[in-house]
Amino acid sequence: MRAAWLDALFILVLLALVTWLAHAQFAVLGMATSLMLYLAVMLLAACRLPLWPALGMAVIASITINYFLIDPRYTFAVADLASWAALAGFLLLALVVTSLVRRLRQQTQQAEAARAQAELARQLADHLALCDDAQAMLRSSTALLRLHTGLPMQMLRLQLDGTLSSLEPTGEPITVNPAAVRWVMQNGKALGPGTANWPEAESSLLPLLQLPSEAPVLWLPPSTAASDWLPQLRSLLGQIGLAYQRLNTQAEARALERKAEREALHNTLLSSLSHDMRTPLTAILGASSTLLYQADALDAAAQQRLLQAIRSEALYLDDATDNILGLVRLGQADRSITLDWQSAEEIVADVLARYRQRVTTVELQAEVGSELLIRADARLLTQALANLIDNALVQHQGSAPLLIQAYRLDGRVRLAVADRGPGFPAGFSVNSIERFAQPLQPGRVRQGRGFGLGLAIVQAIAGLHQAELCITARDGGGSVVSLVFPPQTVPA
């Protein structure tokens, strides 16, 4: 306001100057040039002043011209028709110029505002595309709007206990009736000044979505700037609302995915418990009861064989328990895993030491590169490798050794088990593991001594380590199943 007032004073001073010049040098300048000087001042006034002051200036200029320049001078009378025409012409021209400039200014301002709005919409769209968390998106989008509009708006959420909370707790406490927020949420309609509902309210509340929802609501403090921004804010909130819905849907899908994953593990766990535990328990019960009640009828060699059976089934149970406990850990929400640098050589050696005791029919051959470190959970990693070996032992045929390899390729450490078996069935891919890895259907016979848990667990373990499970055909027959770990840099 003060600037406009100064501008008006400046124009008045200019008018006085021009009047003095025209009056003093009228002989040189003449009427036409003098009027042009006045017109120039009017043009400046139209540029610098609002419409009505600019028009006022035009009238003041006309009166001044009449008083100082038109005969008879120093009176408001006009002597002849030509002078009337000059005066009227000047006034008309001044009015036209003022209104033209005014319209031009308005158009420029509108273009400027439209450009700013488009820029804000573009920035918001870019921003929304990058967000992957609904709450964080709301917080940062509100911050963006605040920055652009200069309005201290906030996103409010109605809590379960009926109180309000701001998404950004740093803001000043604001007093809003929770019932009003609930109304906005339930109706999906805006409320407050500049809206159709309760315009006499102190501040505005704008919904994210134009339909009933649980989504937070934007609080806008009362100000004239706020009502200017209102239409655009509502369309921007529409964009934010869509992003909010999209992110929520994605989060729900992810939660469902995790749930399905847990259920798959749970099912594997149950079938494993019922099958892999019960079979060896049956063998132990049978052998020990035979020894207890029918020892007399057995020769020493038979007794020895039964004792051996009890021992080997118990060892098997011990391993199966490990696997099942591992599964339980995998299924836990917090997944209590301990990541540390593990030596591939030590992992392979640990698993092989167990298998070489148990598997006597197939030779297990290790090819392990030196100084290969993997960031992993030692127990889960041995479990994964054991499962790969179990799987390979079921497939493996002939007298060639089963090959267990650890090596680095393209900066990634790989743990691989290569068998000489029939290979995976046609159509098998890593993505269809779930379907193929449910071998424990009722009535199905266990092949070999696998734990029946298979590749699904290996894949779950791989997932926890950001590793990939790769299955490829092996040159000369059989398949290679490998765990490919992400590139990792061992600290110096």
Partner 1 sequence: MMNPSPVSVHSLLVVEDDAQIRDFLQLSLRAAGYVPLLARTLAEALQLWQDKQPAMLILDLGLPDGDGLSLIQTLRARSDRPILVLSARQSEQDKVQCLNQGADDYLAKPFGVDELLARIRVALRRMERMQLRDQRYLVEALQIDLADGLVRLHGETLHLSPLEYKLLMQLAQHAGRVMTHRQLLQAVWGAEYVDDTHYLRIHMGRLRAKIERDPAAPRYLITELGIGYRLAAS
444 binds partner 1 (CB under 8 A): no
Residue 30 Ramachandran class (φ > 0 left, ψ -120 to 50 alpha, else beta): left
We find the least distance from the C-beta atom of residue 400 to partner 1, in angstroms, to be 18
Asked if 455 and 469 touch (Cβ cutoff 8 Å), the reply is yes
Q: Which of residues 165-224 bind partner 1 (CB under 8 A)?
A: none
Question: Three-state SS for 159?
Answer: coil
In angstroms, give the least distance from the CB of 242 to partner 1: 47
Q: Does 226 bind partner 1 (CB under 8 A)?
A: no
The answer to the question of residue 99 lying near partner 1 (CB under 8 A) is no
- The nearer residue to partner 1, 107 or 289, going by C-beta atoms, is 289
96 binds partner 1 (CB under 8 A): no
Answer yes or no whether residue 358 interacts with partner 1 by CB under 8 A: no
Among 24, 114, 281, 314, binds partner 1 (CB under 8 A): 314
If the CB atoms of residues 266 and 311 are measured against partner 1, the closer one turns out to be 311
Buried b (16+ CB within 10 A) or exposed e, 98-119: beebbeeeeeeeeeeeeeebee
Q: Is 354 in the site for partner 1 (CB under 8 A)?
A: no
Helical packing angle, 344-358 and 378-395, nearest 10°:
50
| Of 177, 136, 173, 137, residue with least CA distance to 154 | 173
User: Distance between CA atoms of 415 and 408, rounded to whole angstroms?
Assistant: 9
Asked if residue 324 binds partner 1 (CB under 8 A), the reply is: no
Q: Which stretch binds partner 1 (CB under 8 A): 30-38, 230-238, 314-322, 478-486?
A: 314-322
CA-wise closest residue to 186 among 219, 217, 159, 155? 217
Q: Does 490 bind partner 1 (CB under 8 A)?
A: yes
Do residues 184 and 190 lie in contact, with contact meaning Cβ atoms separated by under 8 Å? yes
Q: Which is nearer to partner 1, 270 or 314 (CB)?
A: 314
Q: Which is nearer to partner 1, 283 or 352 (CB)?
A: 352
133 binds partner 1 (CB under 8 A): no
**Interface residue with partner 1, options 228, 346, 434, 468 (CB under 8 A):** 346
Q: Is 325 in the site for partner 1 (CB under 8 A)?
A: yes
| Long-range contact set of residues 329-336: C-beta below 8 Å, sequence gap at least 24 | 329/380, 330/265, 330/380, 330/457, 330/460, 330/461, 330/464, 331/262, 331/265, 331/266, 331/269, 335/464
The site string for partner 1 over 32-71 (x = CB under 8 A, - otherwise) reads ----------------------------------------
Token pair listed for 284: 């132990």
- Residues touching partner 1: how many (CB under 8 A)? 29
Q: Is 234 a binder of partner 1 (CB under 8 A)?
A: no
User: Using the rule CB under 8 A, which residue among 80, 257, 263, 318 binds partner 1?
Assistant: 318
**Which residue, 311 or 358, is less far from partner 1 as judged by CB?**
311
Q: Is 272 in the site for partner 1 (CB under 8 A)?
A: no
Per-residue interface string for the shown chain with partner 1, residues 365-404, x marking contact by CB under 8 A: -x-x-xx-x----xx--x----------------------
Binder of partner 1 out of 5, 20, 84, 341 (CB under 8 A): 341
Residue 44 or 315 with smaller CB distance to partner 1: 315
Residue 413 in the binding site for partner 1 (CB under 8 A)? no
For residues 104 and 51, the answer to whether their CB atoms sit within 8 Å is: no
Q: Where does residue 70 rank: exposed (0-12), middle (13-18), buried (19+ CB within 10 A)?
A: buried
| Six token digits for residue 154 | 């906030």
Residue 217 near residue 205 (C-beta atoms within 8 A)? yes
Contact call for residue 353 and partner 1 (CB under 8 A): yes
What's the farthest any 2 CA atoms get from each other in the chain? 153
Question: Could you tell me the CA-to-CA distances from 434 to 188, 363, 431, 457 in Å, in that order?
Answer: 43, 29, 7, 10
| Binding of residue 349 to partner 1 (CB under 8 A) | yes
**Residues 252/259, Cβ–Cβ less than 8 Å:** no
CB atoms within 10 A of CB 220: 26
Could you say whether residue 352 binds partner 1 (CB under 8 A)? yes
Residue 350 interacting with partner 1 (CB under 8 A): yes
Tell me which stretch binds partner 1 (CB under 8 A): 37-45, 300-308, 342-350, 409-417. Answer: 342-350
| Interatomic CA distance for residues 418 and 414, integer angstroms | 12
Q: Which two tokens stand for residue 342?
A: 């593990």
Binding flag, residue 292, partner 1 (CB under 8 A):
no
Sign of the CA dihedral 90, 94, 97, 99? negative
CB of residue 345 vs partner 1: minimum separation in angstroms?
6
311 sits near partner 1 (criterion: CB under 8 A): yes
- Decide: 456 and 441 in contact? Cβ < 8 Å: no
Does 261 help bind partner 1 (rule: CB under 8 A)?
no
Q: Are 128 and 240 in contact (CB under 8 A)?
A: yes
Closer CB to partner 1, 99 or 343, in the complex: 343
- Cα-trace Rg, the chain: 43
Q: How far is the CB of 370 from partner 1 (least distance, A)?
A: 6
List residues near partner 1 by CB under 8 A.
311, 314, 318, 322, 325, 338, 340-343, 345-350, 352-353, 356, 366, 368, 370-371, 373, 378-379, 382, 490-491
